[in-house]
Structure 1
């Protein structure tokens, strides 16, 4: 993803949502008159015309159906956090118009099932505004365009489809998030006097633009603090650690790599594979000699930060990514408001052991993780 930093939205953390996929909150009473700026709007990709059925149902006081479609509702942390954000966003949306919010998607990633469900929801008129996480960059352009052509506004979350008829995209600026991680990691290294001989970078998807952007950003951020740093590889040659993003794959790939490359004493990982890297370091009894930094949160990742094996991790704020478009759906339908800039970047949540300026502590990270696990 070639992104530019055009501003950030920092959304506050919220409370957990109980089990279930739909959110019911008290709505404002009575119908609303949809403004002309929502009925018809000129977008960069052409004219958007809101479906008359949506205008009529809102005028009649019926609830707007806001749907959040994600790649896998059962994906650890991501699914739960997005459900929390949807609930928080739905509560805010109901201050603008009567709304019911629902999360859909296969339990585990399955592109065919996800697409089939989206087609069914569209054909049965069950969606009035959609926030959608495509499986891969630029994937699902066709279904997004079908929704837009049917008069349903669509917002992309987490993964973009820039060539599709989406209104906006809510996620991290991957390059900037990587740079923030690099700066934070280098500052910890500098403050603690850690000897770093060489830095390697790996990913579950080293060929993907988001992963390469994170690696490129990490290099830039780290070198902005420690300009003489030596890297084993660059953003285009990330070490593949397993396409299924499992801890076992990371153990299988990073164990022989670190064994064969003793000069690599810091390993940056673009995703939750940082958990596996921490395990490798402990298994090889390299604690205090080799370190890691990365993205995402889990109990083991936070434990590794507490024992200073992992220096930094970034919580992507999946809850924030789901909350923002739900609120935006309501603002568009009730007021005709839409972002002028389609790239609506969110601020990363940086977790270090001690916390500090722009960072949160391990304990605060545990609180967020606990809320997502309830």
Structure 2
């Protein structure tokens, strides 16, 4: 009997090991279209039609920031066995992004992930999709007044709030500072609001003396930073709350022989920014979990379609998803920059 128990135990362990190995085998996506991702057909996605496609609609999609979003989308699509397409507005033209959304909606997709440039302007399009039975999740930038199911992304007000603390420490909690941003984009407006509020609440000896529009372009960021330096010669710090601002600000400071003297806090983690942080030219950069946003947002959409997300009681017409998921922020400084390369 004892011998039988030992043999049985060995068989159970072998079965468990085989099961674990089998579950860990994930097929990589293959597609001729670099913007279309196809996963292997799996049981998870069987409730979604074979020809159904999920779409991600971004903004300013050619900047490095969106590469991790695409990787997250690819990984989730491969695991779920669904098709996904990454598209969007090449710049920050809100009207064109809405047109792209309408074109995607006409294709009757399985679902849409969108980063709205103009949340208010995007409301009718999002609501139209929801009413047509196409689920919509916001990523990166939210449209909280719309009928979107949920938001996956950074708590941008909190990120701006934290950036103020980092810059304040770098400049000794006193002096004049400037801000580079793109006005009218909800996520950036929230970062600016958090930054300004924190300075107002805690740092009475810090004064925000200039806010400039860099248009999401490093060249423009360099130009407006140079103008800021001339107009505000006592400037001691800069916060760039969009992905293009850090590199542009650093270029202008280098040209003006003030690199390292005027402290800079940037946003996001393209290679040029990380190099500048590692060199000590930029004090720190606020890094978002971009892969996580798209990866889990697509999984939530697919679960929603497959009715895999349930509530404690059956309440028809009630959205079972959380209203928002804050994916957090990581502060990258000189000591930690190498980890993100």
Fold in common (TM above 0.5): yes
2:45/2:302 contact within 8 Å kept: no
Closer, same or farther: CA 313–107 of 1 in aligned 2, 3 Å: same
Q: CA deviation at 1:248?
A: 2.5
CA distance in 2, matches of 1:256, 1:30: 55
Would you say 1:167 and 2:149 are equivalent positions? Answer: yes
1:117-138 CA-to-partner distances (Å, cap 9, x unmatched) read 433333333x011111222222
Residue of structure 2 equivalent to 1:326: 298
2:56/2:84 contact within 8 Å kept: yes
CA distance in 1, matches of 2:30, 2:204: 44
1:261-298 CA-to-partner distances (Å, cap 9, x unmatched) read 33321111222312222122211112342211121233
CA distance in 2, matches of 1:183, 1:212: 18
Residue of structure 2 equivalent to 1:90: 77
Residue of structure 2 equivalent to 1:280: 252
Closer, same or farther: CA 289–168 of 1 in aligned 2, 3 Å: same
> Of 251, 271, 274, which aligns to 1:302?
274
Closer, same or farther: CA 204–100 of 1 in aligned 2, 3 Å: same
Structure possessing the higher relative contact order (Cα contacts under 8 Å, 6 or more residues apart)? 1
> Of 314, 324, 328, which aligns to 2:286?
314
Q: CA deviation at 1:340?
A: 4.3
Closer, same or farther: CA 284–173 of 1 in aligned 2, 3 Å: same
- Any residues of structure 2 matched to 1:181-330 within 5 Å, and which? 181-187=163-169, 189=170, 197-206=174-183, 210-218=187-195, 230-233=205-208, 239-242=211-214, 244-271=215-242, 272-330=244-302
| SS of alignment partner, residue 261 of structure 2 | coil
- Any residues of structure 2 matched to 1:330-349 within 5 Å, and which? 330-337=302-309, 340-349=321-330
1:308-335 CA-to-partner distances (Å, cap 9, x unmatched) read 1211111233322222210101211223
The count of residues paired between Structure 1 and Structure 2 equals 303
TM-score by length of 2: 0.77
CA distance in 2, matches of 1:121, 1:211: 25
Q: CA deviation at 1:343?
A: 1.8
2:29/2:37 contact within 8 Å kept: no
Return the structure number with greater helix share.
2
Residue of structure 2 equivalent to 1:142: 124
Residue of structure 2 equivalent to 1:122: 105
- Any residues of structure 2 matched to 1:39-118 within 5 Å, and which? 57=49, 62=50, 64-73=52-61, 75-92=62-79, 94=80, 98-118=81-101
2:54/2:112 contact within 8 Å kept: yes
Closer, same or farther: CA 210–99 of 1 in aligned 2, 3 Å: closer
Q: Over aligned residue pairs, what C-alpha RMSD do you find?
A: 3.1
Residue of structure 2 equivalent to 1:10: none
CA distance in 2, matches of 1:172, 1:29: 31
Q: CA deviation at 1:209?
A: 5.0
Closer, same or farther: CA 231–207 of 1 in aligned 2, 3 Å: farther
Would you say 1:131 and 2:113 are equivalent positions? Answer: yes
| SS of alignment partner, residue 177 of structure 1 | helix
CA distance in 2, matches of 1:135, 1:153: 19
CA distance in 1, matches of 2:159, 2:186: 14
CA distance in 1, matches of 2:140, 2:188: 13
CA distance in 2, matches of 1:150, 1:223: 45
CA distance in 1, matches of 2:150, 2:338: 33
1:71/1:134 contact within 8 Å kept: yes
Closer, same or farther: CA 86–316 of 1 in aligned 2, 3 Å: same
2:167/2:239 contact within 8 Å kept: no
Return 5+ residue gaps in structure 2 as ranges: 1-27, 310-318
TM-score by length of 1: 0.71
